[in-house]
Amino acid sequence: MNLIVVMLDSLRQDHIGFYHEGARSFEGVKPCATPNIDAFAMHSIVFENAYPEGLPTIPVRCSLMTGQRTLPYRPWEPLRKYPEDITLTEVLRPEGYVCGLVSDTYHLMKPGMNFHRGFNSFVWVRGQEYDAYISSPSRRKVEDYVNGNYGEEWRKRVHQFLANSDEFEVEDDWFSGQVFKEASKWAKGNRSHSKTFLWIDCFDPHEPWDPPDKYDTYTDPSYLGPRLILPMGGDASKWASEEEVRFIRGLYAGEVSFVDHCFGKFMATIEELGYLDDSVIVLLADHGHPLADHGKFLKGADRMYNELLKVPFMMRLPGGEGARRRRAIVQFQDLAPTILELLGMGKETSSMHGASFAHLLLGGDDEHRRSIITGYHEGVDRCIRDREWSYIQRPEGQPDELYDIVDDPKEKNNLIDERPNEAKRLSALYGRYFRTSTVEYVKGIQGKYEVSSTGVG
């Protein structure tokens, strides 16, 4: 049996049309056109409550590739030397799998990151975001892509992306077009192998958002302001008008729609090659993306809401067997042990933090985890949630938050004062080590056992 994993960066669950069917949780949110992901979902086990653990990009991929937690243990860092980190690839390759990686996620390809380790082949697509790829000046004017509130550092970031993408003319020139074209080429070239594993790591729809004109249909055509392809962080009301905020959201929707188009072309290729009959195919995102839903764009430790945490997560079994929706809670460290169990290698998962949810794919009860905890390793903010409630632990001096994510999916009504027992219940599910950044935890331990002139205090 073959394995294909498609990772899309920064894709919100509420921008996928399939998730809107029969779901009141997205009232007022218009999904962009995602016909190809929707078609894939029709033949997949679709998870409504799949969550990242340690955020963002690199810790998430470490967890997915190793089946281990990262939140309480490690920051943004390279894969560690074997056998301290044993990746999915390093388990599959000795079993006869030919493994390929295709990615434009430039953080993976930076010197020493090691995320290509163990793959038989790897293809890097250069130029995303601030990748130091093109050093010549862009032909385009930065002023057309920023407003008067952008500082010099942000202007440099925009300029780098413009320089990297100056030569784009046809759809396949855009980054997701390149990634899925290379992935299709790999799938075709390696079809003769009896067992293959292909990991596609597509950085889009991560910002900057600059979709081809054909897909830029979600912005107001009467808008005359700058093309703000890269939003800044912080309070959006301080650097963008309401019209600009709506425009940026439209660019994101267009980017999602274009990624869906590129994914559809790839799916047509692997269907033609026969992979749909003998492959497990996983489609997921590492996290969502705040679009000033709670006042801010971009990811951040203080943005522990659905727009960041709710992601599309789908698994297609060979022949589309067992397609259904699942409400069970799963977390990213559970993916590697699940895959290995499906491939008949369950014995390899005993040292993993994650727990296989293969029973959910094969028709078992719709139950897995009782709850999840998520956040940034370096941040103090933590989110603990189950199917009904989401508790956000804030830094000292800031009020904690509690949301009924069934009746209030946009998380506008903080019920921490009305339902304190629910917050206490969720908080009690995880110990101090999980609920405090490692830096703060170590400081606390050192303070507790500080050696003084009178001994250990």
Read off the pLDDT band of 47 (50, 70, 90): very high
452 pLDDT above the threshold of 50: no
**Position with higher pLDDT, 62 vs 31:** 62
**Percentage of the residues of the chain whose pLDDT score is greater than 70:** 93
Q: Which range is least confidently modeled, 214-218, 420-424, 447-451?
A: 447-451
pLDDT, tens digit (0-9, with 9 covering 90-100), for 141-191: 999 999 999 999 999 999 999 999 999 999 999 999 999 999 999 999 999
Q: What is the dihedral of CA 222, 226, 228, 229, to 10 degrees?
A: 90
**Position with higher pLDDT, 31 vs 54:** 54
pLDDT, tens digit (0-9, with 9 covering 90-100), for 418-435: 999 999 999 999 988 776
One CATH from 3.40.720.10, 3.40.50.360, 2.40.170.20, 3.30.450.40 for 2-372: 3.40.720.10
139 pLDDT above the threshold of 60: yes
Task: Report the distance separating Cα 405 and Cα 408, nearest Å.
Answer: 5
Q: Which range is least confidently modeled, 8-22, 47-61, 234-248, 307-321?
A: 8-22
**Position with higher pLDDT, 37 vs 447:** 37
Mean pLDDT of the chain: 93
Whole-prediction pTM value? Answer: 0.94
Residues 234-251: what's their mean pLDDT? 97
449 pLDDT above the threshold of 50: no
Per-residue model confidence (pLDDT) at position 451: 34
Residue spans per domain, the chain: 2-372, 384-456
| Distant-in-sequence, close-in-space partners of 291: CB < 8 Å, separation ≥ 6 | 12, 245, 248, 249, 252, 297, 307
Which fold, 384-456?
A: Arylsulfatase, C-terminal domain (3.30.1120)
Read off the pLDDT band of 450 (50, 70, 90): very low
